[in-house]
Every structure is written in C-alpha cells, then in structure tokens.
Amino acid sequence: MAELSNLAYVVFEVSDLARWESFARDIIGFQVAVPLAGEGLALRMDEYAYRILLQPGVQDDILVAGWEIPAEKELEAFVTKARSAGGMVVEDPVLARIRGVERLFTCSDPNGFVHEIFFGPTMLPISKPFVSKVLSGPGFITGSLGLGHILPVSKDVVVSLPFYQNILGLRISDYIRAELAPGMKVDATFFHSATGRHHSLATGQFPATKILNHVMVQYADMNDVGLAYDRVSRANIPLVLELGHHPNDKMFSFYVQTPSGFAMEVGSGGIVIDDENWKVVTYSQLSDWGHKRVIPRNY
C-alpha cells in the first residue's frame, strides 16, 4: 500500500532545552537521550532511537512531522502518487543520514512546517531498552500506531484539507463542529493513516500564534494519566485543559502547557480505526465531559 503508515516522529525547535528535559523526563515519562546527530535532545518512548527531537532555537514550534512507510517499494509508490497529485516531494539522502533512516523524502506543509516521509528507522538494541523514571504501567502506546497525534493550525483549510487528503493521502476519520461559547466555533477535521490510530493529524482554521496547537501521547495504563496529572499539579505547570474525554477518539486526557507554549495532550484509551467498518460522522461537541479550559485562549 502506497500509504503513510504512521506518524513516527516529530521535531520541535525549542528555546529552553533544560526545562524541556525535566518536563519530558520527570513529568511526562519520556527517556531523554542524545540525538543520533546534531545538537539538542532525543525523547524516547519505545525501542525507536527517538520519537521527539528537540532542536535548540527560538521558534518554540513544530519543524517536522516524520511519517513512516514500512518498505522501500511502498515509499517509492507513495512518492509517485504524491507527485502525480501535485506534491513537491524531494529526496534528501543527507537528511536521511542525520535522522538515521534508510531513505527520506521531504514535502513542505502549507502551514509552515515540513513533512519527512521515510522507511528504515534506527532501533536501539535490546541492551538499551526504553526506560522511564516515572511511568507505572507498561509505557506509551506507539508501535505501528506511531508516536501519537499532532494538531497543526490551518492558515486556510481550503488549501490544507486537500493537501492532507490528496498529497499526503491521509483518510478522514471524522469532524467536530462545535460552538464552545456564543460566537466561538470549532471546526476540526481528523485524519488517520494506514495503521489506524484514530487520528495522527487533525486541523482547523483559527487565529493562533503558533503552528502547533498540541501534540498527543498515549499511555497504555489510564492510571498513568492520573499520576502525570498529579506530577503536573505538584510542579505547578500550567494546565491548558482539565481532564476530560473526547467523543470521537474516546481519549481520556488532559492538556498541559509545554515549555514551548504549545500544549501536550496526555491520554489513554484512544481507539483504532478499522476502515472496513468505519463511518465518517460529524460530532457536535469537542468533549463529552471535562476538558474545561484553564489557560485563556491565545486567540
């Protein structure tokens, strides 16, 4: 299948690496490691050498979304298909070496970051297993479902939605069209990739100061959500949204402010889509309970 398998990694440019290091390791439960190349920090969630790369700089925003395809032939077929749909997809062997992958192509997103599509990631040996200082359960849900999901803000959905659907070839999961307060509307589109995490990318168009609204990571054990919630509150880190539950992906989660200002959704219980039996619907609520806003909107 010439399709993106899953969202395998993201790269953020961050201005305060030291704060990110303790936030990632001591609060959320990532393992912090040295990147395969270059400066910054690698955040591990499993046997992959990294799932999040933190690169030093001033932007405090997303730079890259890295999508895995499991075989070289499928990667080549994806590139052919994306190009025939009008995508400017370019191979970058130098960047492939930096990322520690076999082959890598790049494609610019209309919202100001870059997609990297690759096969052949670097896995660390059994002698260097993922370890977390703080997680009590079996760890993060990753594997074939990828690292989680991202919500980049669309400058113009008329451009973004066809880009995600036709160039990246993502499938629509569902929509949420809700009125959060009188006159304050949300219109979000959720996309999944081949392995079926409910969404690997969602987007909507609203005024925002950053490209990335949030990144989501998922624990296997819902108790880890509660334990992380307690660590956030003990460390006085600002919450963005209180605990709650989304009606579409069934995620039980809260949203915490990262040291870069965008949010990290920390959840458990998200569903996996079986395309054979999936029906695209529109929900009228962002959350069926909770997710009360704590930090005022920056728009």
Beta carbon of residue 270, minimum distance to Fe ion (angstroms, whole number) = 9
From the centroid of its chain, how far is CA 283?
Answer: 21
The minimum distance between CB 263 and Fe ion, in angstroms, equals 9
Q: What minimum distance in Å lies between the beta carbon of 249 and Fe ion?
A: 8
Contact by Cβ (8 Å): 194, 6? yes
From the list 176, 198, 173, 174, the residue with the least C-alpha distance to 185 is 176
CB of 68 to Fe ion, least distance (A): 20
Give φ, ψ of 59 to 5 degrees.
-75, -30
Nearer to Fe ion by C-beta: 5 or 213?
213
Distance separating alpha carbons of residues 76 and 220, to the nearest angstrom: 33
Identify which of residues 61 and 265 has a Cβ nearer to Fe ion in the complex.
265
Does 249 bind Fe ion (CB under 5 A)? Our answer is no
Beta strands in 109-157 (DSSP E): 114-119, 149-152
Q: Which of residues 208-227 bind Fe ion (CB under 5 A)?
A: 216
Residue 239 contacts Fe ion per CB under 5 A: no
Instruction: Please report how close the Cβ of residue 117 comes to Fe ion at its closest, in angstroms.
Output: 22
Q: Is 265 in the site for Fe ion (CB under 5 A)?
A: yes
Question: Which residues are registered as beta bridge partners of 113?
Answer: none
Stretch 166-205: interaction string toward Fe ion, x if CB under 5 A? ----------------------------------------
Q: Closest CB to Fe ion among 216 and 225?
A: 216
Query: Which residues on neighbouring strands pair with residue 177, listed in sequence order?
Result: 187
Size of the site for Fe ion (CB under 5 A): 2
187 to 28, 46, 199, 282, 294: CA distances (angstroms): 29, 33, 15, 10, 21
Per CB under 5 A, residues contacting Fe ion are 216, 265
